[in-house]
Chain A
């Protein structure tokens, strides 16, 4: 029965929290809105009733202080998960994340690790404008000492949350509200998805599409359409942005010779730039066409739906990018 059980992406996260809090009394959840589905959807369902206010802590609006408290609790031996229901508000907490948690193990000579999970939710689109829908994962990926995971499936939503909690290092876990309703097979038993390993979601020989988070689903739609046109797209789901699964990407590009990168964040100086640089440095000779990127323009998130349509990229943009590459004459 377990092998066929289906669950939504958000309840997969919820199950990870239930199982880890049950397994390990040092795991606790804190942040703004953990009592309120308005903030956290159903990801915290049943936790308060089961584990009590001591370990499920709804907090005042104090992102800096509360995130710092999570870091301090981790240094003092706990395994906190601190949620930011809109990751835009995490910018208030850059000091505890970037100055303290990420550096702590190194600058203290390996004498104290910081097993904390910084959980930020991307709230793409919905006319929410520039401060309610940003995807700032690249900022964290830039920082030594942080790991950054971004599940695209319900299976990974659970498995990566479990892995993030189990990891002795600070892990930034970034999910996407638009994926919360996805229903997929999720095993009931406790399992984890290894941090640092991507996976091939669809095999193909003509072009590699490396995607992250929501863009994985868009890439899979694009791959369907491309297949109808006779183009075999290989879709790689990064799952972890940092540390990057370099070999998986390079092996695929060496096979296909063409690369499209699809990111939920901005194109400039972002994850897509890092992957493009990786391939240019390490698989240049395998490339049969320029690298192409499908990511957000260098512009804040707009409100109006007409502007959003121009701003956000989906499967259509990926298909067009691939077509441009495949239509080029091979060198």
Chain B
């Protein structure tokens, strides 16, 4: 596939933005300045960016507990995200949601929630809405391998297949469901095969190869738009940080049981590093060009975090605002 310079630049910036943002949260989390539980996306950037780049602004996405990356990749505002994570009035959910409830309807990022698999059926409903209206939109449900333990996934796969709904089931298989390695959660068969049982077209994708993600997603988007029904994409990837917080050192108990060598193996397959190599080898960018983008993105992220810290907390008198519309 041929990629325009504009597209490559956009993908690079977005991946760097997400990585830089997540890593800039580490210190304030450890300092206790950020209290909302943050499930960091470092290591998985290629999936949100590759897939969302293949979508149009009007297409819907729903996230999960680990959705900073989904929010940004769909075009959500960086400053609003930072402010939400600091639980300020200027946040994307006005400080009522925190890290796990991110939404920006203006870019059709329709929400995220930490009830594992809880948003899969919501994305199904958004696809149903698009199908009833015949408006050509598609919906994407981002969920992890842990969500394959929840029954609602199977109900949603069946209904989507039955009604040929325009939905992409995007399973980010990072090999761990919180602390549990995947081999302790399910028998050792590829996850995508559960969708095959419903007659859904599936593909396994290297979740650390952003252009591979983009290609597979573009194909899935076209298939959905043509009315061929749902697509299930299983992205194999890895998260660098803890299930929640930087290192799963909860209350002094090191609960991250992942072997050090395993993490090192995955760091060697880093999606951003991989993409940078591609860009340099194919003469799209020079190293200093990438470095200058990194510097710009980092500044932008730092500004967003300062904005968040300087923003006011919600007024306690407004506690019960937004219970009802």
Contact = CB atoms under 8 A, between A and B. Distances in A.
A309 to B, nearest CB: 38
Interface string A40-81: 000000000000001101011010111111111111111010
Interface string A69-105: 1111111111010000000000000011001100011
Nearest to B101: A107
A99 B114 CA distance: 10
Interface residues of B, number: 47
Contacts of B199: none
Interface stretch (B105-113, B210-218, B275-283): B105-113
A105 B323 contact: yes
A60 B158 contact: yes
Interface stretch (A110-118, A223-231, A275-283): A110-118
Contacts of A108: 93, 96-97, 101, 103, 111
Contact of A106 (B119, B125, B151, B323): B323
Nearest to A101: B122
B97 A107 contact: yes
Contacts of B119: 72, 100
A78 B130 CA distance: 9
Contacts of B188: none
Interface in B113-149: 113, 115, 118-133, 139
A169 interface: yes
Contact of A68 (B93, B124, B129): B124
B246 interface: no
Interface in A1-55: 28, 54-55
Given A54-B132, A73-B125, A66 B155 contact: yes
Interface in B258-317: none
Given A64-B152, A75-B110, A111 B105 contact: yes
A109 B129 contact: no
A69 B93 contact: no
B324 A100 contact: no
B62 A72 contact: yes
Contacts of B62: 72
Contacts of B120: 68
Interface in B83-99: 91-97
Contact of B118 (A60, A68, A77, A147): A68
A169 B325 contact: yes
A112 B111 contact: yes
A55 to B, nearest CB: 6
Nearest to B108: A76
A65 B133 CA distance: 20
A144 interface: yes
Contact of A72 (B115, B123, B155, B163): B123
B132 A28 contact: yes
B24 interface: no
Contacts of A78: 125, 128-129, 132-133
B227 to A, nearest CB: 13
Contacts of A107: 93, 96-97, 101, 113
B128 A69 contact: yes
B322 interface: yes
B126 A76 contact: yes
Contacts of A62: 155, 158-159
A72 B156 CA distance: 12
B151 A64 contact: yes
A59 B159 CA distance: 8
24 contacts: A28-B132, A55-B132, A60-B162, A64-B121, A65-B158, A68-B121, A69-B128, A72-B124, A73-B132, A75-B125, A76-B60, A78-B129, A78-B132, A78-B133, A99-B113, A107-B96, A107-B97, A109-B95, A110-B325, A111-B103, A111-B104, A112-B105, A145-B324, A147-B324
A-B pairs, 5 with minimum CB distance: A72-B125, A68-B121, A65-B155, A109-B94, A72-B122
